[in-house]
Every structure is written in structure tokens, then in C-alpha cells.
């Protein structure tokens, strides 16, 4: 279900004219039998309907036969792709060579310190450090994650949270990739990590203003739902921490944070369609939280504090694209809200950033990011100018409240990411950093990027962001990788990738299909790609593919598709609906057993997603889900060449979904196209934890695609 995994896709038609002879012979001579999973009949009955799930037994990873099956699939993958191993290594080194290994973030200033994240040559993990008062001051290393990760096949550190007195840092650690973080507290003066630890958390936490009281979120052991807020006092037994709030509604999760003004602690409760907040004076952590505005189904809002007021981004009164309101901090219920920025039919209000003198509004107009800057006293009101149609721009790391400097990030499909400091008063800007692409071969002038529009079957225009090397002919012969996601209102904006150059420089076109289910064209774009309109996501993607073929960008012999997580569901649906369009598909951690998963409320995230997919305990949603669920719709088809990947410890899309899907496709598929399945036995939803280990996974996927195109160097 359930997150963005950005990698890519592939398939196979052996056109002898474009195949390397040595590669073809190695495949021809290979006699490797794909593994077969045992069939054990299990009937799943709901609403009088019976589904046969002959691979349900794969759900139990404590069963040695399950692990044996996964390992046999990995072994089959290794044997079938053995001829690409050297190529994978070469791709990995090529990708790695473009990355500045001894890199560092742009420092940001907060509460007397400059904070920096940097990498050292040859090291997989970051070093988090700070400097007091000046960038010329001595560096204080807070966390060298390379040292902490020693001896672990997976290591993730997140949620670094420094206390107001600058002496303590709380942080979360996950060594399994199950997203169950244990919070630790480090004395930044002595370097000592104090013995009190807090298991089974989100990893994030929030200090009250006394620098000794810490609020954090615990997870349910089985479902991993973030359901409880606790208060811990530093130096006390964590087993005696006080439970502050329990989110009883299983369709909601909860979290805690402090406002940018540092005056209020906030507990948030969220579901797909509804939100609720509680507030407490950050100087009085022993007090009781007060509900800001009671939850009302369908009412979404978020809050920011400024002066004596709260500013509220909300969809109140059918404001589909959201509007901005404000309310006194002493009277926060919605009858006191007054309008600041009205709802606009064609402009989506995504977020706000509050500064002492300025309000910065992040908007989306016709799919494009806009940054709107307004001075509180009304003397300035303007937009930052952006001219491209394939860019991404958004505020970032604006932690300081009193500054006139807005820091924002900018990149495009052909422009490496930049961090820019913009003086909102003088309108002067300074590029603090642009990501270097090493090797001396990259020149943005060599690439063409553009936005085109495909027409869906129902007449809806679907935007597509594209990039390719200049000079290629649109004669249908180009390999093209089409990426999509299309769920949760998550928008895949055009972004630069130095890794992607390994495809572009070998003649590939890269296209992002901005299908319904995301919010690229506003909230309605999301609303018409979920629940009982979910199939729009799949048909949009297919219609984009047909458009790209019709316009000569590629052909079905050279078209590849890629998606991960909910984007993996997209891949599963399109190969059932239109397998003939694609030469190859990469489905990463794919959510493909929709009905069974959404009927099992013991699985992490299930109950919180009824508003996204529907509740199959209701027959209408059950029938609709079943009509598109990839696992339930596997047929005797000529599927494209496919690479399916997963992680054994994935908490978001359980490993057994793709495992069962592959087993059923193996049993039913027609033809000789490849079906490969690889399980990372040490990782979860996000794959490997090290920056270079993750590149090896990209090289694996790219090698699969490129091999199908006969490109082996």
C-alpha cells in the first residue's frame, strides 16, 4: 500500500538485430526451470462470494517452506540474470561515479547553531553535525551513522530532535526495516547515550520548552498503527511514562509536534478524509491538551501559529482545493474561523510557511508549483517566477521564525537540484548549492524536457512530463520508460535524477504519467482516482502509453513501465488490462492483493486506508476492488517480461502479496517472457538503507530493462 518507491521497469522481445550475440547465446543455452510454489487450496468467503487462494500459505514467514520458496525464487533470478551481473556492477559504478561522495547539505541555522549533514568518501551513511554561532566554529559531531551502523545489515536513524537548551538529542533507530523505531537520548555535551530507551515508536519526538519533558508516539505491536502519545521525563524509568492520548478509532493515526513559534505542543489525529488537533502550552507540559476543533467526518485542516492566532488550511464548506483561515488562539473552534485566502476552483492550496514578517503560500496551478509571498502588513504580494513546465519548487528547512530569507529547493527533469536562499524583502536570491553531477559528461543543453497532454478514453486530458536526449527521432524505435503512482493524493513532480542518465544516455525517453489519484491538477484529480473511481488511475496510465506510441515516442516493442508500492498496484492492474502494450515491467514492493489485505484488519495500515480504497466489508466496495485487484485478476495471458521485487520485513506491503502474485502468474501465464522475482531478505519497504547499497538495486532494475533492449554496456 503505500509509499513512493521510485525505480523503473522492463520486458523482453528478442529482436535478433538488436541483441548482442554473446548474450543471446548465454540465454539460449541456459536450461533453468522456474520455481513452482505448492498449491494448498483455501477458500476465502465474503458477501456470498468465494475466492480460491491457493497460495495463502505463503503469508507465514515463520514457515521454513515459505523462506525456502523465496530463496528458490532468488536463486532463479540469480541464474537467469547471471549474464548481466558484470553489467550491473558497471552500471552501479557508473551511477556512483556521478555522485559527489564527500558531499554536505547546505547548513541551516536554528537556536544558535548551524546544522549540517555530510557524507565522506566511500561511506554509506551520513554524519550529522553542528557548529555553534558560526560556520567557522569547531564542528560537533552529533551522530556518525557509519559507526552506529557497523554490524547491521540494515540501519536507519531518524527523528533527530534537539532540546531547546541544546544539550540533548532524542532520536529513533530501526535495525530491521520494520519501521519500529527505538528512541534513545544522547547528551550532546558529554557524548553519553543515557540508558533509558523507548521501543516501538515512530522514531519522532518533541521536547517541551523545559528541555526535560519529551512527547513521543508509540505504535500498535501488531498493526503498527501510530495510536498513542506518551510523555517521558528525562532521567525517569520509561516504563512509567504517562499515557497522554490514545487514538481509539482504528481508521486514524496520531503524532505530536511543536509549532514553529515554539509556543504550542500539538497532537494531530489523521485519516484519509478527516483530521483533528489538540494543543497545549509548550511551557506547561504537565497540563492537559485541549481539542482545537473536534473531528467531523470529511473536514480536513492543519494549523500553524502566529502571534495571537492560529492559521488554518482547510477544506471547510466544500473548499475542495482548500483555503486559508485564521482564529484566535483562545477561540479555536470553527465558528470562530475567518477567511484569509478564499477557495479557488483552479488553484490548489497545498501548504503555508509562517515567518515573523511574511506568509509564504505553496500553491499548485495547472499542475505547476507556485510560491506566493505576502507580507503581513500588505506592502508586498508577489509570486516567485518559474518558466519551465517540468520543474519542482518548494520551500524547505525554514525553521527560523524571524528571518527574511526563504529557503526553497528547485530542480527539473534536466536541471540538478538547487537550494536557493531568497530575500523576501529585496527579492535577491543566492544559489547556496546545486547538486554536482561528476564525470564531466553531463550538460543540460544535451537534453530536451517538456510537458505533453494525452487524452483519456473519457476525454480527460492527462499531463505527461518527459525528458530525452536531443536529436532522437520520433519514429517508434526509442525505448521509453513510463513511470506512474496515482494514489493517496501523492503527486510525482518532475525531478532530476543523475541515476536516470544511465537510461537517457543509452537512448531512452523517460516519462512521468501524472494520472488521476495524485493531486497534480488539484484535489479533484485525487477524488476522481480513488474509491469507486480508482480504475481511472489504471486507464489513464494505459491511455498515456497508447498516446506515446501513437506519437512515435516509442512502440510496444520498446515501451517499459515502472511503479512501486501503490504504483506497483498500478503495474499489476495495467498488465492484466493491456499486457500487449509493454515489453517489460518492473513492479517494486507492489500492493497487489487488494481484497485480502483490506479485509485483514490485523495487517499494518489496513483500517486507516478504508477512505482510500473503500471498506470491502461493504459489498459495493468488495465487488469493485475485486474487479481490479491484480492478484484476483491474473489470467492465462501473454504477460510482458516482468521483474517483481520486495523486502522480507516490509511493514507496508507485506512480502507475501508479490510472492503470491508471482506464483499465480507463473502457473497461468502464457508464452516465454521472463517473470523474475527478487526478495531482499534483509530489508523492508524502502529497500537497502545505505546510499550506495540502494544504487545496486537501481542498477539491478536498469540492467533488466537494458538487457531486454540488447544494451549490455
Q: Which active-site residues does the annotation give?
A: 565, 650, 685
For residue 584, which of 561, 568, 566, 567 has the smallest C-alpha distance?
A: 561
For residue 598, which of 610, 586, 588, 590 has the smallest C-alpha distance?
A: 610
Which three-class secondary structure state does DSSP give residue 570?
Answer: helix
Assigned C-alpha cell, 690? 545505505
CB 433 within 8 A of CB 484: no
β-bridge pairing 168-174 and 181-187 = antiparallel
Nearest-angstrom CA–CA distance, 170 and 168: 7
- Residue 21: which H helix or E strand, with range? helix 21-29
Q: Maximum CA pair distance of the chain? A: 77
- Cα-based angle 621, 623, 629 (whole degrees, multiple of 5): 95
CB 214 within 8 A of CB 229: no
Residue 30's Cβ-count burial label (10 Å; 0-12, 13-18, 19+) is: exposed
Bridge partners of residue 546, in order along the sequence: none
The single residue listed with the C-alpha cell 478514453 is: 457
Nearest-angstrom CA–CA distance, 431 and 409: 10
The tally of CA atoms less than 13 A away on the side-chain side of residue 148 is: 22
Nearest-angstrom CA–CA distance, 433 and 410: 10
The sheet carrying 559-564 orders its strands as: 447-455, 461-469, 509-513, 480-483, 559-564, 584-588, 641-647, 675-680
Strands of 398-479 (E only): list them: 405-412, 415-423, 429-434, 447-455, 461-469
CA distances from residue 574 to 225, 417, 705 in whole angstroms, order as listed:
30, 32, 18
The single residue listed with the C-alpha cell 507580507 is: 375
> What b/e string do you get for 335-370 counting C-beta neighbours within 10 Å, with b at 16 or more?
eebeebbebbeebbbbebbbbeebbbbbbbeebbbb
> What b/e string do you get for 523-532 counting C-beta neighbours within 10 Å, with b at 16 or more?
bebbebbbbe
Residue 55's Cβ-count burial label (10 Å; 0-12, 13-18, 19+) is: buried
* Helices and strands counted in the chain (H then E): 13, 37
The single residue listed with the C-alpha cell 484519509 is: 272
Which three-class secondary structure state does DSSP give residue 31?
Answer: coil
> What does 246-289 look like in DSSP terms, one character per residue?
E---TT-EEEEEE-TTSSEEEEEEE-SS-EEEEEEETT-TTS--
Nearest-angstrom CA–CA distance, 373 and 370: 10
Amino acid at each position: 500500500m503505500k509509499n513512493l518507491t521510485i525505480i523503473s521497469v522492463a520486458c523482453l522481445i528478442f529482436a535478433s538485430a538488436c541483441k548482442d550475440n554473446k548474450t543471446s547465446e548465454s540465454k539460449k543455452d541456459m536450461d533453468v526451470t522456474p520455481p513452482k510454489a505448492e498449491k494448498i487450496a483455501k477458500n476465502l468467503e465474503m458477501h456470498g462470494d468465494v475466492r480460491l487462494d491457493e497460495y495463502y500459505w505463503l503469508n507465514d514467514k515463520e514457515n521454513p517452506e515459505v523462506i525456502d520458496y523465496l530463496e528458490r525464487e532468488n536463486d532463479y533470478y540469480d541464474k537467469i540474470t547471471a549474464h548481466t551481473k558484470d553489467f550491473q556492477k558497471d552500471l552501479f559504478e557508473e551511477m556512483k561515479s556521478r555522485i559527489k561522495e564527500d558531499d554536505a547539505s547546505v547548513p541551516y541555522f536554528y537556536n544558535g547553531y548551524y546544522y549540517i549533514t555530510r557524507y565522506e568518501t566511500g561511506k554509506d551513511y551520513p554524519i550529522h553535525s553542528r557548529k555553534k554561532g558560526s560556520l567557522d566554529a569547531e564542528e560537533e559531531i552529533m551522530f556518525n551513522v557509519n559507526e552506529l551502523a557497523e554490524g547491521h545489515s540494515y540501519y536507519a536513524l531518524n527523528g533527530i530532535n534537539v532540546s531547546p537548551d541544546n544539550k540533548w538529542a532524542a532520536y529513533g533507530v530501526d535495525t530491521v526495516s520494520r519501521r519500529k523505531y527505538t528512541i534513545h537520548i544522547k547528551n550532546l555535551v558529554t557524548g553519553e547515550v543515557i540508558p533509558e530507551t523507548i521501543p516501538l515508536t515512530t522514531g519522532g519526538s518533541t521536547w517541551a520548552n523545559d528541555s526535560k519533558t519529551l512527547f513521543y508516539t508509540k505504535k500498535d505491536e501488531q498493526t503498527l498503527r501510530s495510536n498513542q502519545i506518551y510523555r517521558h521525563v528525562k532521567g525517569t524509568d520509561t516504563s512509567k511514562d504517562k499515557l497522554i492520548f490514545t487514538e481509539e478509532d482504528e481508521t486514524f493515526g496520531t503524532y505530536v509536534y511543536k509549532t514553529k513559534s515554539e509556543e504550542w505542543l500539538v497532537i494531530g489525529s489523521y485519516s484519509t478524509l478527516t483530521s483533528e488537533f489538540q494543543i497545549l502550552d509548550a511551557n506547561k507540559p504537565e497540563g492537559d491538551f485541549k481539542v482545537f476543533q473536534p473531528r467531523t467526518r470529511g473536514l480536513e485542516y492543519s494549523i500553524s501559529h502566529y502571534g495571537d492566532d492560529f492559521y488554518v488550511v482547510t477544506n471547510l464548506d466544500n473548499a475542495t482545493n482548500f483555503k486559508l483561515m485564521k482564529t484566535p488562539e483562545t477561540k479555536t473552534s470553527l465558528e470562530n474561523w475567518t477567511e484569509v485566502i478564499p477557495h479557488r476552483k483552479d488553484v490548489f492550496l497545498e501548504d503555508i510557511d509562517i515567518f515573523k514578517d511574511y506568509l509564504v503560500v505553496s500553491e499548485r496551478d495547472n499542475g505547476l508549483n507556485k510560491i506566493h509571498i505576502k507580507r503581513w502588513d500588505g506592502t508586498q504580494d508577489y509570486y516567485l517566477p518559474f518558466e519551465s513546465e517540468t520543474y519542482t519548487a518548494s520551500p524547505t528547512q525554514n525553521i527560523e521564525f524571524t528571518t527574511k530569507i526563504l529557503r526553497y529547493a528547485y530542480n527539473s527533469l534536466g536541471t540538478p537540484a538547487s537550494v536557493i536562499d531568497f530575500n523576501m524583502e529585496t527579492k535577491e536570491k543566492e544559489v547556496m548549492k546545486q547538486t554536482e553531477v561528476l564525470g564531466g559528461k553531463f550538460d543540460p543543453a544535451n537534453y530536451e524536457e517538456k510537458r505533453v497532454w494525452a487524452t483519456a478514453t473519457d476525454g480527460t486530458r492527462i499531463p505527461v512530463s518527459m525528458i530525452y536526449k536531443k536529436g532522437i527521432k520520433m519514429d517508434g524505435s526509442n525505448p521509453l520508460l513510463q513511470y506512474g503512482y496515482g494514489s493517496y493524493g501523492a503527486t510525482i513532480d518532475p525531478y532530476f535524477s543523475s541515476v536516470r542518465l544511465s537510461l537517457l544516455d543509452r537512448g531512452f525517453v523517460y516519462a512521468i504519467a501524472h494520472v488521476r489519484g495524485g493531486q497534480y491538477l488539484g484535489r479533484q484529480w485525487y477524488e476522481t482516482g480513488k474509491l469507486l473511481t480508482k480504475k481511472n488511475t489504471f486507464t489513464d496510465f494505459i491511455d498515456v502509453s497508447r498516446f506515446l506510441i501513437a506519437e512515435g515516442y516509442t512502440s510496444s516493442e520498446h515501451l517499459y513501465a515502472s511503479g512501486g508500492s501503490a504504483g506497483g498496484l498500478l503495474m499489476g492492474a495495467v498488465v492484466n488490462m493491456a499486457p500487449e502494450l509493454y515489453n517489460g515491467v518492473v513492479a517494486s514492493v507492489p500492493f497487489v492483493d487488494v481484497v485480502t489485505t483490506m479485509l485483514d484488519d490485523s495487517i499494518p495500515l489496513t483500517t486507516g486506508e478504508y477512505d482510500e480504497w473503500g471498506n470491502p466489508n461493504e459489498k459495493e466496495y468488495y465487488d469493485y476492488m475485486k474487479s481490479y485487484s491484480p492478484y484476483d485478476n491474473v489470467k492465462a495471458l501473454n504477460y510482458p517480461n516482468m521483474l517483481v521485487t520486495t523486502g522480507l520485513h516490509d511493514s507496508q506491503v507485506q512480502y507475501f502479496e508479490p510472492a503470491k502474485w508471482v506464483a499465480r502468474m507463473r502457473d497461468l501465464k502464457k508464452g516465454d517472457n521472463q517473470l523474475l522475482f527478487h526478495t531482499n531478505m534483509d530489508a523492508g519497504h524502502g529497500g537497502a538503507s545505505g546510499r550506495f547499497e540502494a544504487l545496486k538495486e537501481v542498477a539491478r532494475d536498469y540492467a533488466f530493462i537494458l538487457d531486454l533492449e540488447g544494451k549490455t554496456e
